[in-house]
Amino acid sequence: MTAILSAQNLRKSFGSFVAAHDISCEIARGETIGIIGANGAGKTTFVNMISGHLTPTDGRITFNGRDITALTPRQITLLGIGRSFQIAQVFATLTALENMCIATAIARRGESITRLTMNRAMAPDIVRDATRSLEQFGIAEYRDMLANTLSQGVRKILDVAMAAARDPLLILLDEPTSGVSREERHELMNHVMGALKERGVTILFVEHDMEVVTGYADRVLAFIDGTIVADGKPDAVFARDDVRARITGQSAHQAETHHV
Amino acid sequence: MARHSTLISFVIIALLAISGGWLPSWILPISTVALGNGLAVLGMIVLWRSGLVSFGQALYYAVGAYAVAFSARHFGLRDAFLLVLIGTLAGGLVAYIAGFLLSRYRGIFFAMLSLALSMILYGLLINSQILGASDGLSVPRATFAGFRPRGDNYAWGLFALVLAAVWCGAVAVARYNTTIAGALSTPMIDNELRIEFLGVSVDRLVHQKVVIAGLLTGLGGSIVALSVAHVDPAMAFWTTSGGFVFVAILAGTASVWGAFIGALAYEAIRTIAVATVPGTWQMILGAALLLTILFVPQGIGGLIFRRRRELGAKQ
């Protein structure tokens, strides 16, 4: 499969603190990749560098054959990378449908100021498409509720649905289940992954819940101390001692005992 | 604004314009100035809906007014429509240039930077001999498409002109609010990050709103210049901007018509206060502002809008 995203020797430092270093990987079109790692391991820094939220100190990122290393989040979004956030980024004072209509209208009508000014936000075709998206993501019943009254889980799904409105080639999900109860996690991931797979989007998601990672990822990137230490099928990555000791919470000794 | 609301507002405005012929002559200039200021407030409300408070709208107001005075005196232009168009475009042009700087700032920095720009203009005007320095410039009587109204009819003509501008401004802003750019106003306060990640430049949106506000304020300033027949540097002074902020609080952001009702209310309060307590009329204005913030925080526009919505819900 051809690589849609390629990261080469990425490094990000803040003064003397190195948040990420020597990150290299290739992501093929259509893959679903889970990123795991302890807090501060560099997962979100990696996602922020891809989405343009942070500019790498060194290294290069290419997306769909184009160098995106120094581009702004807006430029990267327009090239076909969408993203959701650890804290859902929705418009709190608008309803779920209005949120979705704005995202859909920008995606369908164009993002130039002229086009934004010439077209209505709640045109019938926009409302229809936005409603369809809410249905696809399983949150249509909340359409008339203000976003700030929605549960954390629904807000998270709405955040992803808005990021997916442009039909991106690649979507980055930063901890899609954080703050969501264990019972709701699988339902949330079923809705999100189902809708995204239906659109054929390549998915890169950061996740702490290993059950979720095992359940939905084709491939796992394990981060320790700001770099990727393991890259492969979930079972193979989880079997590594360093991953067990530093990420999944089991010591090497416990892991050995468990194996025996 | 729905099509039937646009039509109803047009009929009301047209009836008001016609009624100018029967209103007492003293009320027409006061109303024209109040509604001209209302246009500036409408511009301020466009910014306010996006969380941007401008303490320097007087910049575009004075530019619009001085463009009219300068064009009339130095180029001999007399047509009111042409002069108002020039004043409006001048306000918009200055806003477009200032917008490159202003669009990079938010909150108090946006407010104070806009104030600083208007005070720079004030400094330039007060020292510029060609623009009349501290005395300002008088504005000759205008004509209306070749028609030269006499006596009170001139004030009536300007009253009709400001009402036409009010209707056009209100309908345009109401239409703008339904567009994607307009719908992004409140979300801009909420969440700039999501807007950027939807592919839209928030800085450009801010720039656009600065220009819209500049055009409306230039329009207001140019009509006021014709009505008062004089422009002076005080039009660019910070107290003029403060007056617009006052009316914007009084008006609220819920309805485009609130700006004009607020401006008329402000003028009425000020006129009554000056007439009753000439020495301390500012105290009455201050008390009115305090009462508005305490009891009608959504402003007059919000009060009317909510009332209409409640009636709609009952029906």
By C-alpha distance, the chain B residue nearest A100 is B198
CB contact under 8 A, B200 and A111: yes
CA A256, CA A245: separation in Å to the nearest integer? 11
Averaged pLDDT for residues B18-47: 93
Distance from the A117 Cα atom to the nearest Cα atom in chain B, whole angstroms: 5
CB contact under 8 A, B208 and A83: no
Is A121 in CB contact (< 8 Å) with chain B? yes
Residue A90 sits at the vertex; the CA angle it makes with A87 and A94, to the nearest 5 degrees, is: 145
Facing B180 at nearest CB: one of A72, A119, A162: A119
Residue A195's identity, in one-letter code, is: A
pLDDT at position B306, please? 61
Is A92 in CB contact (< 8 Å) with chain B? yes
Q: Which residues pair with A219 in a beta bridge?
A: A33
Distance from the B118 Cα atom to the nearest Cα atom in chain A, whole angstroms: 27
Per-residue pLDDT at B39 exceeds 90 = yes
CA B174, CA B189: separation in Å to the nearest integer? 19
Per-residue pLDDT at B314 exceeds 70 = no
By C-alpha distance, the chain A residue nearest B196 is A74
The DSSP annotation for A3-19 comes to EEEEEEEEEEEETTEEE
Per-residue pLDDT at B169 exceeds 60 = yes
Distance from the B211 Cα atom to the nearest Cα atom in chain A, whole angstroms: 13
- Of the residues A102, A133, A158, A169, the best mutation for testing chain B's interface (the one with the most B CB atoms within 10 Å of its CB) is A102
The contact set of B with A (CB < 8 A) is 176, 178-184, 186-187, 190-191, 193-194, 196-201, 204-205, 208
- What's the pTM value of the predicted model, to 2 decimals? 0.90
Residue B102 · residue B204 · CB < 8 Å: no
pLDDT at position B308, please? 52
Chain A residues touching B196 at Cβ < 8 A: 72-74, 77
User: What share of chain B has pLDDT > 70, as a percent?
Assistant: 96
- Of the residues A97, A117, A122, A172, the best mutation for testing chain B's interface (the one with the most B CB atoms within 10 Å of its CB) is A117
Averaged pLDDT for residues B199-209: 96
Chain A residues touching B206 at Cβ < 8 A: none
Residue with tokens 């027949």: B229
Alpha helices in chain B (DSSP H): 3-19, 27-48, 58-74, 80-102, 107-127, 152-178, 180-183, 185-190, 192-196, 202-228, 238-251, 258-276, 281-295, 299-314
CB contact under 8 A, A91 and B194: yes
Q: At B297, phi and psi to the nearest 5?
A: -60, -25
- Residue B211 tokens, joined: 């220009």
Annotated domain spans of chain B:
28-314
CB contact under 8 A, B199 and A91: no
Q: Which residues pair with A223 in a beta bridge?
A: A37, A228
Annotated domain spans of chain A:
3-90+151-259
CA distances for B36 relative to B40, B64, B160, B194, B228, angstroms = 7, 11, 12, 37, 11
- Residue B122 tokens, joined: 């004030």
Average pLDDT, chain B: 91
Q: What letters, b where the CB count within 10 A reaches 16 and e where it falls short, cover B131-153?
A: bbeeebbebeebbbeeeebeebb
CB contact under 8 A, B196 and A106: no
Per-residue pLDDT at B238 exceeds 50 = yes
User: What share of chain B has pLDDT > 90, as a percent?
Assistant: 72
Torsion angle of C-alpha atoms B293, B294, B300, B304, degrees rounded to 10: 140
pLDDT at position A250, please? 57
Q: State pLDDT tens for residues B42-98.
A: 999 999 999 999 999 999 999 999 999 999 999 999 999 999 999 999 999 999 999
How would you write the pLDDT of chain A (260 residues) with one tens digit per residue?
678 999 999 999 999 999 999 999 999 999 999 999 988 899 999 999 999 999 999 999 999 999 999 999 999 999 999 999 999 999 999 999 999 999 999 999 988 898 999 999 999 999 999 999 999 999 999 999 999 999 989 999 999 999 999 999 999 999 999 888 888 888 889 889 999 998 899 999 999 888 899 999 999 999 999 999 999 999 889 888 888 887 877 544 444 444 33
Supply the DSSP symbol for B140. P
By C-alpha distance, the chain B residue nearest A167 is B198
Facing B199 at nearest CB: one of A51, A94, A166: A166
Distance from the B247 Cα atom to the nearest Cα atom in chain A, whole angstroms: 25
Distance from the B229 Cα atom to the nearest Cα atom in chain A, whole angstroms: 36
By C-alpha distance, the chain A residue nearest B203 is A113
Q: Which residues pair with A83 in a beta bridge?
A: A172
- Of the residues A81, A120, A162, the best mutation for testing chain B's interface (the one with the most B CB atoms within 10 Å of its CB) is A120
pLDDT at position B300, please? 80
Q: Which of A27-36, B102-111, B282-291 has the lowest mean pLDDT?
A: B282-291
Q: Residues, chain B, total?
A: 315
CA B239, CA B119: separation in Å to the nearest integer? 10
Is A89 in CB contact (< 8 Å) with chain B? yes
Is A116 in CB contact (< 8 Å) with chain B? yes
By C-alpha distance, the chain B residue nearest A158 is B194
pLDDT at position A1, please? 60
Q: Superfamily for A3-90+151-259?
A: P-loop containing nucleotide triphosphate hydrolases (3.40.50.300)
Residue B173 · residue B46 · CB < 8 Å: yes
CA A112, CA B120: separation in Å to the nearest integer? 33
pLDDT at position B250, please? 87
CA B171, CA B89: separation in Å to the nearest integer? 19
CA distances for A116 relative to A110, A113, B59, angstroms = 7, 5, 27
Residue B180 · residue A106 · CB < 8 Å: yes
Architecture of the domain spanning B28-314: Orthogonal Bundle (1.10)
